[in-house]
Structure 1
Amino acid sequence: MRKSTKLALAFMALAGAVGTTAYAENNASAKMRDDMMQRLDEALKGPNGAITFDQFSDAMDSRLKKLVAENGGKLTVGELADALEKARFERMARRIIARYDTRGDGTLTADDITSRQKKLFAMLDRNNDGKIEKGELPKGGRFGRHRQWDGDDGVQ
């Protein structure tokens, strides 16, 4: 492959990565803005439809103030990043547990995992012969809700 072609491909890969990151950051910013506006709307539902600065400040981001207080009045980039990462992974963990937890007790067991695997296998084994053949796999290689599947029990 020519050097100019390699450079062009490398540049396209880099541009794609940067674009994906920017898109994710814009979505995160939009969600933060929406969450902030929702908290503000809730605060404004008071008896007179107005709020003081203290109420406004509490509605804006009390979690951030709590993090600052828990870290001696100052919050470094690393401390904030750690807190954000922990919150993100806790949300992911809650979704996974909710998806797999068959007893509804907030825990995950090997039986829960096996149960979910059996449901997914049954959905993929469209001719019910106890085997999954390539033709039974969803187009695009994605599992979850697909219109082409006859029965959708909501398993993702």
Structure 2
Amino acid sequence: MQQENIVRKTTKLAFAFIALAGAIGTAAYADESSRGDGRDGMTMRLNKVMKDSNGTITFDQFSDAMDSRLKKMVADNGGKLTVEQLADALEKARFEQMAKRIIARYDAKGDGTLTADDITAREKKVFAMLDRNNDGKIEKSELPGRIGQHGQGGGSDNDDDSSMQ
């Protein structure tokens, strides 16, 4: 009976750890999987461990396969991680991911930096794509559906569209 309780407790802890790792992985490290939910990366790591260990995984193997970044964050903060510290780390990771995507989208030279020339080059490219009749002006009818719809944002045709710069 005591052995059964230990197994149940260990199983519950393992599932709790999976849920926690998945939640942290989803929010902070969405780049690990194409779906952005962190599950593919975890599944790949667990499949590798299972393959390397003849189809079974011990808790120690499971723990080693999980993302160690959360454990490192706890260790780096004196063995405890507050909501504020975790939120700051998640926010930083999210904004770093956004910054990487923006740099990749605008960086014309591919050197990992963003310059005013890169921004202008990107704007010219997008403008040219929107100016379908090549008259040097974008008319409302040339805007993509969501942007060019009447009453966008609760306004009317007479509203100033300066927010679309």
Q: Distance in 2 between matches of 1:118 and 1:135?
A: 19
Residue 132 of structure 2 is aligned to residue 132 of structure 1: no
| Secondary structure of the structure 2 residue equivalent to 1:92 | helix
Q: CA deviation at 1:141?
A: 1.1
Q: Distance in 2 between matches of 1:103 and 1:49?
A: 47
Paired letter, 1:90? E
| Secondary structure of the structure 1 residue equivalent to 2:101 | helix
Q: CA deviation at 1:47?
A: 6.0
Residue 127 of structure 2 is aligned to residue 118 of structure 1: no
- Paired residue for 2:71, among 47, 56, 65? 65
Q: CA deviation at 1:133?
A: 1.1
Q: CA deviation at 1:56?
A: 1.3
TM-score, structure 1 as length reference: 0.66
Paired letter, 2:89? A
Query: Kindly, what percent of the aligned residue pairs are identical?
Result: 72
Q: Which moved more, 1:44-53 or 1:33-42?
A: 44-53
Q: Distance in 1 between matches of 2:75 and 2:89?
A: 13
Aligned residue pair count: 116
Matching residue of 1:91: 97
What 5-or-longer segments of structure 2 have no aligned partner? 1-22, 28-35, 149-165
Matching residue of 1:146: none
Q: CA deviation at 1:64?
A: 0.6
Q: CA deviation at 1:106?
A: 0.9
Matching residue of 1:100: 106
Q: Distance in 2 between matches of 1:38 and 1:76?
A: 29
Paired letter, 2:110? G
Q: Distance in 2 between matches of 1:113 and 1:68?
A: 39
Task: Indicate the structure whose relative CO is greater, using CA pairs within 8 Å and at least 6 residues apart.
Answer: 2
Paired letter, 2:81? L
Provide Cα deviations, 1:94-135, integer angstroms capped at 9, x if missing partner: 111111111111111111100100000000110111111111
Matching residue of 1:39: 45
Q: CA deviation at 1:49?
A: 4.1
| Secondary structure of the structure 1 residue equivalent to 2:80 | coil
Aligned runs of 1:72-87 on 2, under 5 Å? 72-87=78-93
Paired letter, 1:61? D
Over the residues paired in the alignment, what is the CA RMSD in angstroms? 2.2
Q: Distance in 2 between matches of 1:90 and 1:44?
A: 32
